[in-house]
Structure 1
């Protein structure tokens, strides 16, 4: 019996490789002779670069860059074994996790440090960059990142502007003459796990601004600023990306990457799956087990579980999913191509207890589902 284990992280409790270990332990408790292959996955959010680097046999590079408030911080990114691909997470330099709660203010924060990570990768001669843009502290439309790479932003009085969310509405002109020429020779793919447009009630400022510290008044200022930068950038580059799904990701960095880096936006799940050779492993599997902290309707529109379900359906391999919270109906489970989905919670408990006991809970739930699967298929594998 070949079992492929390919989960996402359980946010706040287990990283993806730890979930792999817990599921593997549960499988081997049920059937010690099972042949288990583990592949930790991610959806483009935090942890994606680490997983991609590991899959590429790469190394971690540490660089001193600017944090969201332009203080020096040490950030890291991954470099493939052949030094041709860089795996960067904007959260490493421009993430919300780098700020205390009272420091959160998207009028002041910038993606400049993320641009510095890209610059370091260019200095190392990479040919491709995969950039994950989850977990941002910023709503600057990517102008900070662009400034680190040589772009300049001016107001109507020809005064060069600081590159933060508060100055978006003042931008009158974008100067491209000093942009790093190496950008045109590098392929840049952005891992994006949301589909929001750049501005409007479903855009970057209104949907994600409050969690970054924006008040209602700030949200309006930021949204107007994103509308302005979209107008100026569209005229400068001859393309309007403001309505492209994902343009509003990471405070408008999705759109900024398309304008300033000529980047391609892709869902993070497909990028990780492409890099992992997982399709071949699915073809060889008798059962695939995946999981993430919560399975809900959002899971069905591009997360790891849905990405795997599509391939498992294609190759007629059963897919089981374990999760902390299960919030989809049996009909949704069936329609998504998930054979079996179960919450790992085995009794009423609060979040702290669930997180502290996560490894055991995942292991034990896996034990039960594998025993059930083998009981139903034992005649086929006797």
Structure 2
């Protein structure tokens, strides 16, 4: 790099997603910043770990808020004692819950999966603790679930009762939904109705049918074809019961995009708690103040494990691109880059670089992810520096 280029002082924002299984968003952001510093030693660099509402969102928000994770005793998806983490904003008004902390598939992978029994009750226990802290808003990040109960477990933990025709509580999990006859919210925690709920989703699957929660995601939770049929029928019946006391038909509820996420969690929460279903990246963008953070950026470094066409549809890279200034150079650093340079340019991406220095096994890339992210960022920024000495935006 030339002496002239080394005097450049651009404003750089490092806003990556996590590199799943290799580096968290905070670690990836720090690695990008170290790489950028090599090319631009005098730059103004900001780390902004980001997420799309799925895995890693809790840690990303905690890093931006500067607050520690809190823990609470809960149960896992099959009712065993467990410990879960959640986050609270610095002003105490907003809480973030990752549902998979209490109903995640990994936590129950030590035993035979129980797709019809698994429920979200533990997630509701986290929410009870959060409500006791007096928050005004709950950001519920769903995904990676072992359950297909339509969110009934969460609302049950908050005081509602779901009973069969004899007035007895239905069995926990999606397998008990077909017996549901009535829902009683008399003892529902009133704070659950006062707080604003936003549910982050990154899929648009409907509740039921061939593209629904049971059919698409049930098999990975251990559901056989017979269990898929039971779960799908149960979710359809849940929609019918909930629709009977509202203005929206069961057919409309069952077909609503996004309601099939995480075993149908949005179903009961929207119908009974007034929750909003939102794209995860948009929710996180608002929570971290993405627009303001990127406002003065000359260079934006973002990234994720795999950069492909799906990255441009509601994921982290797309959100970062959409909130960045039109004049900023946007560079994607990824474990795998599946888009051509022409496709990147058409999508508003300046360049995309893989962290792989050559042919390599995934395990090798994972073990060295942070070093490779740093190296790729240094390379990208060196190229920008070489071509930026004539750019007033990047100079002193």
Q: Which category describes the TM-score, using the shorter chain as reference length?
A: over 0.9
How far did residue 82 of structure 1 move?
A: 2.6
Q: Residue 171 of structure 1 corresponds to which residue in structure 2? A: 180
Name which of 338, 348, 369 aligns with 1:358. Answer: 369
Q: Give the TM-score taking structure 2 as reference length.
A: 0.92
- 1:196 alignment counterpart: 205
How far off its partner does 1:182 sit?
A: 1.7
1:341 has 2:341 as partner: no
SS state at 2:323 partner = helix
Deviation at residue 101 of structure 1 after TM alignment? 5.3
Q: In the alignment, what sits opposite 2:313? A: 301
Q: Are the aligned partners of 1:59 and 1:81 in contact in 2 as well (CA < 8 Å)?
A: no
Task: Return the offset for 1:64.
Answer: 0.8
SS at match of 1:226: helix
- In structure 2, C-alpha distance between the alignment counterparts of 1:283 and 1:127, rounded to whole Å: 27
Deviations 1:87-143 (A, max 9, x none): 111111111121125432221101001011111111222111111112211111011
Deviation, 1:338, is 1.0
Structure 2 counterpart of 1:329: 340
Q: CA deviation at 1:209?
A: 1.0
1:114 aligns to 2:126 (yes or no):
no
The DSSP-based 3-state class of the residue aligned with 1:19 is helix
How many residues are treated as equivalent by the alignment?
Answer: 381
Corresponding residue for 2:297? 285
Counterparts of residues 40-59 of structure 1 (less than 5 Å):
40-59=49-68
Name the residue aligned to 2:39: 30
SS at match of 2:245: helix
Distance 2:310 2:187 in 1: 41
Equivalent of 1:369 in 375, 380, 385:
380
Which secondary structure state, in structure 2, belongs to the residue aligned with residue 103 of structure 1?
Answer: coil
Quick one: distance in 2 between partners of 1:377 and 1:299? 28
Give the conservation status (yes or no) of the 8 Å contact 1:154–1:161.
yes
Comparing 286-295 with 155-164, which one deviates more in the overlay?
Answer: 155-164
After superposition, residues 216-227 of structure 1 pair within 5 angstroms as 216-227=225-236
8 Å Cα contact 1:59-1:80 kept in structure 2: no
1:4 aligns with 2:16: no
Q: Alpha-carbon deviation of 1:285?
A: 1.1
Of 102, 105, 113 in structure 2, the residue corresponding to residue 93 of structure 1 is: 102
- Contact kept, 8 Å, 2:341 with 2:351, in 1: the verdict is no
Q: Please, which runs of 5 or more residues in structure 1 have no aligned partner?
A: none
Q: Which residue of 2 aligns with 1:243?
A: 255
How far apart, in 2, do the equivalents of 1:80 and 1:309 lie? 25
* Residue of structure 1 equivalent to 2:273: 261
Q: 2: distance between equivalents of 1:26 and 1:54? A: 20
SS of the residue 1:223 aligns to: helix
Selected match of 2:170 from 137, 158, 161: 161
Give the stretch that moved more between structures: 7-16 or 360-369. 360-369
Residue 76 (1) aligns with residue 85 (2): yes
Deviation at 1:309, TM superposition (A): 1.2
Partner of 2:197, secondary structure, is: strand
Distance 2:82 2:133 in 1: 20
Q: How many angstroms apart in 1 are the aligned matches of 2:294 and 2:136?
A: 30
Between the aligned partners of 1:300 and 1:118, the Cα distance in structure 2 is: 32
| Separation in structure 1 between the aligned mates of residue 177 and residue 258 of structure 2, nearest angstrom | 19
Q: Does 1:182 align with 2:191?
A: yes
Contact in 1 for aligned 2:103/2:147 (Cα 8 Å) = yes
2:170–2:177 Cα contact (<8 Å) kept: no
Question: What is the distance in 1 between the residues matched to 2:138 and 2:293?
Answer: 26
Q: Name which of structure 1's ranges 53-62 and 174-183 shifts more when overlaid on structure 2.
A: 53-62
Q: For the residues of structure 1 that align with 2:340 and 2:187, how far apart are their CA atoms? A: 54
Shift of 1:191: 1.4
